[in-house]
A and B are shown apart, each in its own frame.
Chain A
Amino acid sequence: MSASAEAVPATAAARSTSPSALRFEGVSKRFSTGTLALDAIDLTVDAGEFVSVVGPSGCGKSTLLRLASGLSQATAGAVVTGDVRVSYVFQDPTLLPWRTVLGNVELVGELAKLPRSERREKALRIIKLVGLEGFERQRPGQLSGGMQMRVSLARALLLDPGLFLFDEPFGALDEMTRERLGDELQQLFHSRRFAGLFITHSVAEAVFLSTRVVVMSARPGQIVADVEIPFDYPRSTELRFTPEFAKMTGVVSAALRRKGKGELT
């Protein structure tokens, strides 16, 4: 990821003491290929907010997360992250195949120079939290896709992130696994109240997890709707089958159809 390969960054991601965990101020991103992926995005995620982003394929959702994490630089505007640790859950589990479950979770602790005993103890606790007790010594190749995703979640949780970025983490999973992991993620959010920015293709998943759902237009990505989701946490699985829930998904879907030019895939 070299900055020189892209146009000169106008403003680098800055850290401030602002209460927001993450703020986009008029952020645009044009790749060196000439593609304008994001156009004048304004978006704030406060601590205790869980914001989902839905939008048609290729509208710049992943680009938004890469900017938020500092992996990529904006070409205009500013990305401001509060003084918090950032964790990124990729679309794929992205585990190291030669490390055990425990080793994979501990990895980020090693890189953050946590003392050995502390990181071991925390890793074991978090592995238990995501329901993988007893699998600490297994390698990723021996786990199912859903279990691998749990390891990836556990790894992201190890450093007590203040800002949690998710790029379609459950996209490759079957519906049942996906809903179960959604339930657990929502529980986690309820108990820890980090700031979350969650990319998904599923309107129902977005509504179920979030305090707000942001709808993006097709490329160049712009924010075309910002819907508050009023349900209290913790949310029960059954919420998905209530008329209120159906109404909220209807609102989000309508915004998507109106502006997203329909190609939600």
Chain B
Amino acid sequence: MSLSLTKAFRTAGSTPAKGPGVLAGAPRLVRLAIPPFVTLAVILGIWLTITYVILAPERRFLMPPPHEIAKVGFLDPANRAQMLSALLLSTQVAMVGLVIATVIGVSVAVVMSQARAIERALYPYAVVLQTIPILALVPLIGFWFEFGFTSRVIVCVLIALFPLIANTLFGLQSVDAAHHDLFTLHGASRWERLVKLQFPAALPALFTGLRIAAGLSVIGAVVGDMFFMQGQPGIGTLLDLYRSRLQSEQLFAAIFLSSLLGIVVFSAFGLLGRLVVGSWSTFGGGSGRER
């Protein structure tokens, strides 16, 4: 029995069904980097095919080739400066919104965690906040707060708030009953229980929420730009402008930059989470053990 099992295991192990086959022996970095590069090459291939084979020259602006995008969008100093300053503004909007959303979200979650009645009073509205299309509120926000920086930040806050409330609350409530018993036995006050037990226990969930919220906040900033055209242009403003002028190289470059911002923000908050709680929790896929 055990012999045949071992055999079966060996056979399974030696089949290059996954992973170790093709790139075995290559350095780790190369092994990790090659598969995404292959994907990228395939995508570029399809892209160029569409541009040069499928599209007629007069319709080529629908899908300009990558090198044209780089040339017009990134290498032209005027375009580049315009886009980078817009990107900077959007980043500021997104981060200010995220900070405000974090402060509000964590506070609301802490308050909810202190009494069932408060949770029941507030949670339905937090869910409502999540379900109403924020876009539908945007004109109203513009009415009330003008069409500049403040309004853009408010859109970010509204869009990023729910994951922060929900994840923090989940974390605060995920504490073991035995840990609560320990604190009860030693006469811990409500405040000590919150600060020494619930809040640290909630940190991994809080960072999960923060990472999601950061991505949403970037979306909020870009969407807000498209509606609030006053003041300095954000990257979303430029997207709309390039679209209306059919400047497709710049449009593609701006799309690329906003995606990059989303990726950078998502990774940065993932990294921050790993730095803060990675040594003891499984945040971000780490084992929390072998460090």
Contacts and interface: CB of A to CB of B under 8 A. Distances in A.
Chain B facing A: main interface SS: helix
B176 interface: yes
Contact of A141 (B179, B188, B201, B288): B288
B187 A97 contact: no
B192 A111 contact: yes
Contact of A139 (B180, B182, B186, B279): B279
Contacts of A112: 186-187
A96 B200 contact: yes
Contacts of B179: 94, 96
Contact of B178 (A70, A90, A110): A90
B289 A142 contact: yes
B185 interface: yes
Interface in B119-170: none
Interface in A50-75: 69-71
Contacts of B288: 97, 141
Contact of B197 (A1, A69, A96, A142): A96
A107 interface: yes
Contacts of A88: 181-182, 185
Nearest to B200: A98
A98 B277 contact: yes
A141 B181 CA distance: 21
Interface in B260-291: 277, 279-281, 288-289
Nearest to A66: B181
Nearest to A140: B280
A96 to B, nearest CB: 7
Contacts of A96: 179, 196-197, 200-201
A25 interface: no
A98 B280 contact: yes
Interface in A76-124: 86, 88, 90, 92, 94, 96-98, 107-108, 110-112
Contact of A69 (B178, B183, B185, B188): B185
B113 to A, nearest CB: 16
Given A111-B183, A112-B186, A141-B288, A97 B196 contact: no
Given A69-B185, A96-B197, A139 B178 contact: no
A96 B281 CA distance: 11
B222 to A, nearest CB: 36
* Most chain B CB atoms below 10 A, which of A71, A90, A111, A112: A111
Nearest to A70: B185
Nearest to B189: A111
A86 B181 CA distance: 13
Contacts of A90: 178, 181-182
A107 B203 CA distance: 19
Nearest to B181: A71
Nearest to B287: A141
A94 B281 contact: no
Nearest to B291: A142
Nearest to B193: A111
Contacts of B188: 111
25 contacts: A1-B180, A1-B181, A1-B184, A71-B184, A71-B185, A88-B181, A88-B185, A90-B178, A92-B178, A94-B176, A94-B181, A96-B196, A96-B197, A96-B200, A98-B200, A98-B203, A98-B281, A108-B186, A111-B187, A111-B188, A111-B196, A112-B187, A139-B279, A140-B280, A141-B280
Given A69-B185, A94-B178, A111-B187, 7 more contacts: A71-B185, A90-B182, A94-B179, A98-B201, A110-B192, A111-B183, A112-B187
